[in-house]
């Protein structure tokens, strides 16, 4: 190894300092990639960036080697074990770092362009050629070791660094299409910047080599740049800083991918919730309303023989209810909330629904309202509350075979409680049920911010109790609510 190759001497402390930051920029780039890398990334770039991290870590150590390897070890050359380890190890580490740069570029471009698997062996073929070149050119005389070290370094830069940086730049540019759907203009800017920095590094770190007796080292070398007033280390340091900066910023691709994944999950969840809402609304609203129409028609049929006028009045009422069912269906198909057309006062809603139930059946209804709270429900709560009442009253009419129900409403300070009890057949509430109606009731109570309790046993009727908080604004006053209170 010849430290003068990079203009480094113990006296040129400023070059030592610059090369320290040169190595530091690559090392920090590699370390930063390893910290940000996501194993589960589905992006071509995200999966291959760890190769670039290995290059950064190894090449940082290489550049620090020009500073920190003892001068005595460099002077010993291959005469001592220490000299062999330091000099030979440093040369091998340089080639290995460039190998991983080429692996990154080839693998990334192969992923993007669907290249055959055999092309991924190209970096290792180049590295093998370098090893053979180093072996066949190894000097027999000790006096030729310095020239040989320079020669194999040039070979490493030509065989590995130049194609590695150039292919990596092209591969990064090819990621524009894949990252376009993230809709982040900054990513495209950082892609272009990273590629340009790598192309600059291909020139400064690959093509600019010490003078040699063959092309292009005899034409484009460090001496030529020095005569032009631009030391090769300055160009390499500039390119390394630019590569590190743009690659650091390009790591935003991991955050963009994660955000995009969260948006997809959120969109799927919204679609699922909307489907669940439609299913609940159809089950708790439309289907129950249609069943109510069927019961009303049956009731009208029994009136035809004894009281045709009453039967005709009932049929007129049922016709209006049928129109309402059609209107509700149109609202669902249009994505409208039924709650917008419902009263904000839950007491009024309960009274209307229970009155309709009593009108279409022979049920006796007992009322009890207490408390001085100011009930007010927002649109979503009205929708859930309406369908909960429809489901509960429909179950009483269809399954309970009850003759009497008791309806109690307790208007508290932060929420209201509704208790509906019947004297019907009941069921075993301790056995888990798979009924869709009861499942919907619990879901709606939770979505409305409250809770639902069911008490029932065979032959002893059923008691449904649920509590909902006051939400929204009633006369400019927002009512708080104790979530889960009163269980």
DSSP string, 236-266: HHHHHHHHHHHHHHHTHHHHHHHHHHHHHHH
In this structure, are 93 and 213 located in the same domain? yes
Domain end marker among 217, 234, 250 = 250
In this structure, are 228 and 369 located in the same domain? no
Q: Nearest to residue 43, comparing CAs of 216, 219, 255?
A: 255
At residue 413 the predicted structure's pLDDT band, cuts being 50, 70 and 90, is confident
In this structure, are 71 and 198 located in the same domain? yes
In this structure, are 368 and 240 located in the same domain? no
- Residue 105 placed within a domain: yes
pLDDT for residue 245: 94
Distance CA(260)–CA(266), nearest Å, equals 10
CB 456 within 8 Å of CB 433: no
Q: Nearest to residue 462, comparing CAs of 404, 378, 376, 412?
A: 404
Q: Nearest to residue 120, comparing CAs of 83, 171, 70, 77?
A: 171
In this structure, are 94 and 240 located in the same domain? yes
Element (H, E) at 322: helix 308-333
- Residue 15 placed within a domain: yes
Q: Nearest to residue 201, comparing CAs of 81, 52, 358, 352?
A: 52
- Residue 307 placed within a domain: no
Q: Rounded mean pLDDT of 62-67?
A: 87
Distance CA(256)–CA(38), nearest Å, equals 12
In this structure, are 185 and 76 located in the same domain? yes
Domain end marker among 250, 274, 303 = 250
CB-based contacts of 190: which residues, under 8 Å, 6+ apart?
246, 249, 250, 252
pLDDT for residue 286: 66
- Residue 267 placed within a domain: no
- SS3 annotation, 76-92: HCCCCHHHHHHHHHHHH
Token pair of 34, please?
């390893």
- Residue 326 placed within a domain: no
- Residue 323 placed within a domain: no
- Residue 179 placed within a domain: yes
Token pair of 396, please?
């009483």
pLDDT for residue 9: 45
In this structure, are 31 and 159 located in the same domain? yes
Instruction: State how many domains the chain has.
Output: 2
**CATH code, domain carrying 364:** 3.30.565.10
Per-residue buried b or exposed e for 459-468, using 16+ beta carbons within 10 Å of the residue's own CB = eebbbbbbbb
Alpha helix positions (H), 87-121: 89-113
What's the pLDDT tens digit per position in 431-482? 655 466 788 788 888 888 889 999 988 888 999 999 998 874 443 333 333 3
In this structure, are 177 and 29 located in the same domain? yes
Highest mean pLDDT among 137-146, 259-268, 347-356, 477-486: 347-356
Measured over all CA atoms, what is the biggest interatomic distance in the chain, rounded to whole angstroms?
A: 128
pLDDT for residue 270: 63
Q: What are phi and psi of 365, to 5 degrees?
A: -110, 130
What's the pLDDT tens digit per position in 92-116? 999 999 999 999 999 999 999 988 8
CB 195 within 8 Å of CB 184: no
Q: What are the DSSP calls for 8-31, one per residue?
A: --SS-HHHHHHHHHHHHHHHHHHH
pLDDT for residue 474: 40
- Residue 328 placed within a domain: no
Domain span holding position 121: 3-250
Per-residue buried b or exposed e for 347-376, using 16+ beta carbons within 10 Å of the residue's own CB = eebbbebbebbeebbebeeeeeeeeebebb
Q: Is the pLDDT of residue 393 over 60?
A: yes
At residue 4 the predicted structure's pLDDT band, cuts being 50, 70 and 90, is very low
| pTM recorded for the entire structure | 0.60
Q: Nearest to residue 198, comparing CAs of 124, 101, 94, 59?
A: 101
Token pair of 81, please?
């074990």
pLDDT for residue 316: 82
Q: Rounded mean pLDDT of 304-333?
A: 75
Cis-peptide, bond into residue 216, ω within 30° of zero: yes
In this structure, are 82 and 188 located in the same domain? yes
- Residue-averaged pLDDT of the chain: 82
Q: Is the pLDDT of residue 221 over 60?
A: yes
pLDDT for residue 313: 82
Q: Rounded mean pLDDT of 19-38?
A: 88
Domain end marker among 202, 233, 250 = 250
Q: Rounded mean pLDDT of 277-298?
A: 70
pLDDT for residue 429: 73
Q: Nearest to residue 325, comparing CAs of 295, 358, 282?
A: 282
CB 132 within 8 Å of CB 102: no
At residue 267 the predicted structure's pLDDT band, cuts being 50, 70 and 90, is low
Share of the chain above pLDDT 90, in %: 33
Highest mean pLDDT among 81-85, 171-175, 232-236: 171-175
CB 360 within 8 Å of CB 292: yes
Distance CA(195)–CA(164), nearest Å, equals 12
At residue 283 the predicted structure's pLDDT band, cuts being 50, 70 and 90, is low
In this structure, are 72 and 209 located in the same domain? yes
């Amino acid at each position: 190894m010849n430290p003068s190759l990079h203009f480094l001497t113990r006296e040129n402390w400023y070059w030592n300092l610059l090369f320290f930051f040169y190595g530091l920029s690559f090392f920090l780039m590699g370390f930063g990639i390893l910290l940000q890398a996501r194993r589960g990334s589905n992006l071509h770039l995200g999966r291959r960036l760890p190769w670039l991290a290995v290059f950064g870590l190894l090449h940082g150590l290489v550049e620090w080697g020009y500073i920190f390897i003892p001068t005595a070890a460099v002077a010993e050359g291959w005469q001592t074990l220490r000299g062999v380890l330091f000099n030979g190890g440093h040369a091998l580490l340089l080639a290995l770092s460039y190998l991983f740069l080429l692996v990154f570029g080839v693998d990334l471009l192969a992923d993007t362009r669907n290249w055959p698997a055999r092309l991924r062996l190209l970096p290792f073929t180049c590295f093998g050629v370098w090893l053979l070149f180093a072996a066949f050119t190894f000097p027999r005389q000790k006096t030729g070791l310095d020239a040989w070290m320079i020669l194999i370094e040039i070979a490493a830069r030509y065989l590995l660094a130049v194609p590695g940086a150039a292919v990596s730049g092209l591969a990064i540019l090819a990621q524009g299409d894949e990252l376009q759907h993230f809709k982040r203009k900054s990513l495209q800017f950082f892609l272009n910047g990273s590629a340009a920095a790598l192309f600059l590094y291909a020139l400064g770190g690959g093509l600019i080599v010490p003078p040699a007796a063959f092309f292009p080292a005899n034409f484009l070398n460090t001496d030529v740049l020095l005569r032009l007033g631009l030391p090769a280390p300055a160009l390499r340091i500039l390119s390394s800083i630019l590569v590190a900066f743009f690659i650091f910023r390009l790591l935003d691709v991991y955050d963009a991918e994660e955000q995009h994944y969260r948006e997809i999950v959120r969109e799927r969840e919204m679609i699922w919730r909307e489907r669940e809402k439609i299913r609940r609304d159809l089950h708790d609203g439309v289907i129950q309303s249609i069943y109510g129409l069927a019961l009303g028609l049956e009731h009208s049929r029994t009136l035809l023989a004894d009281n045709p006028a009453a039967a005709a009045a009932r049929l007129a009422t049922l016709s209006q209810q049928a129109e309402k069912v059609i209107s509700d269906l149109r609202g669902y198909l249009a994505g409208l909330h039924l709650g917008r057309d419902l009263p904000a006062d839950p007491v009024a809603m309960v009274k209307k629904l229970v009155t309709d139930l009593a009108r279409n059946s022979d049920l006796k209804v007992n009322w009890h309202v207490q408390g001085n709270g100011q009930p007010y429900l927002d649109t979503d709560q009205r929708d859930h509350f309406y369908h909960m009442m429809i489901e509960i009253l429909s179950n009483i009419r269809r399954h309970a075979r009850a003759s009497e129900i008791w309806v109690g409403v307790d208007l508290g300070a932060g929420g209201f409680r509704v208790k509906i009890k019947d004297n019907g057949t009941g069921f075993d509430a301790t056995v888990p049920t798979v009924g869709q109606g009861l499942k919907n009731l619990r879901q709606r109570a939770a979505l409305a911010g409250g809770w639902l309790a069911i008490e029932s046993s065979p032959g002893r009727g059923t008691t449904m109790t649920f509590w909902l908080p006051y939400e929204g604004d009633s006369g400019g006053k927002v009512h708080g609510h104790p979530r889960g209170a009163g269980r």
